[in-house]
Structure 1
Amino acid sequence: MALQSTTRSRLIIPALAPVYTSAHETVETILRVVAGLLLVTHGFGKITNPFGTIGMVEGLGFYPGIFWSPLLAATEFFGGILVTIGLFTRPASFAAMIVLLVTVYFHGIVQNQGLMGAEKSILWAAIFLFFAFRGGNSHSVDARLSRTF
């Protein structure tokens, strides 16, 4: 209660405090679902051809590509599904964050695009970092199972 009254007194429009308090879990869930679905969409092409990125992953120094390429496909596609439904949210989000940090390196350094080329990957990595620490919240399969990492 003290936290809510402190927050309420700091708001420019204190009447919005109930809206913020009641909607924060729903908005967080929407962010998790959207991030997960976009990761699934991004991984769909890779999962239909799991060995299609062998050259790319080996070009980044990940050998053997025959191992890393399907792992990348599975992380994006199945990891996105797990994040979307909120099952094993923390490890799936952590894996997605690692993949996205590699894309930051790829776009920013390898392709010499700098911040402009890496900024979307940085944003996505930060979103998945959030869920790696926060978990799936009460609107997740993790919460229904009463188990989480």
Structure 2
Amino acid sequence: MTDYTTADTRYIIPGLRGLYAALSPLTVLYMRLIAGIAFMAHGWPKINAPMDAVGMVEGLGFQPGWFWAPLLAATEFFGGLLLAVGLLTRPAALATSIVLCVTTYFHWVAQAQGYAGAEKSLLWLAITLYFVAHGGGRFSADRAIGRQF
């Protein structure tokens, strides 16, 4: 798990070193919470009615839909929950990243919306990939238990 420190950085205004050091873990926590909650919000309707998404996932080429639709629901909701808590952060972030790769393809290619249609998915993908690479940060359950994936 990477905790970014300001010890090895030469700042134009050195007095800001302490502020940046204090804000760094809080911004990682904020980003992880917002990403996790957003995934949970998107996954909640699918968890309540996972078979309602069968047609959508089959339309994307994922056959059989009865298998992929509940998997999508679980990935969005429970992956978001794990991300928000910071437990098994890297696998949760990887799973949600895969979903975001599919949504990027769907908007950019399948719906021919190009970058403009895929922009939100690409931004969320950047966030989830950050957590794949760096883990949950200082204020995560992974850190609290002293273990990470």
TM-score after normalising by structure 1 = 0.93
TM-score after normalising by structure 2 = 0.93
- Report what 2:108 is aligned to: 108
Q: Structure 1 CA distance, aligned partners of 2:68 and 2:61?
A: 10
- Report what 2:91 is aligned to: 91
Q: Structure 2 CA distance, aligned partners of 1:6 and 1:48?
A: 49
Instruction: Give 5+ residue unaligned stretches, structure 2.
Output: none
1:28-67 paired onto structure 2 within 5 Å = 28-67=28-67
Instruction: Give the 3 Å change call, closer, same or farther, for CA 119–144 of structure 1 in structure 2.
Output: same
Q: Structure 2 CA distance, aligned partners of 1:129 and 1:146?
A: 22
Q: Structure 2 CA distance, aligned partners of 1:83 and 1:4?
A: 26
Q: % of aligned pairs identical?
A: 50
1:1-149 paired onto structure 2 within 5 Å = 4=6, 6-7=8-9, 9=10, 11-149=11-149
Partner SS for 2:87: coil
Check conservation: 2:93, 2:128, Cα contact below 8 A: yes
Q: Structure 1 residue 14: deviation in Å?
A: 2.2
Instruction: Give 5+ residue unaligned stretches, structure 1.
Output: none
Q: Structure 1 residue 12: deviation in Å?
A: 2.9
CA RMSD of aligned residues (A): 1.2
Q: Structure 1 residue 17: deviation in Å?
A: 1.2
One-letter amino acid of the counterpart of residue 69, structure 2 = S
Q: Structure 2 CA distance, aligned partners of 1:143 and 1:137?
A: 7
Q: Structure 1 CA distance, aligned partners of 2:6 and 2:63?
A: 52
Q: Structure 1 CA distance, aligned partners of 2:102 and 2:59?
A: 12
Check conservation: 2:6, 2:20, Cα contact below 8 A: no
Q: Structure 1 residue 13: deviation in Å?
A: 2.4
Q: How many residues align?
A: 145
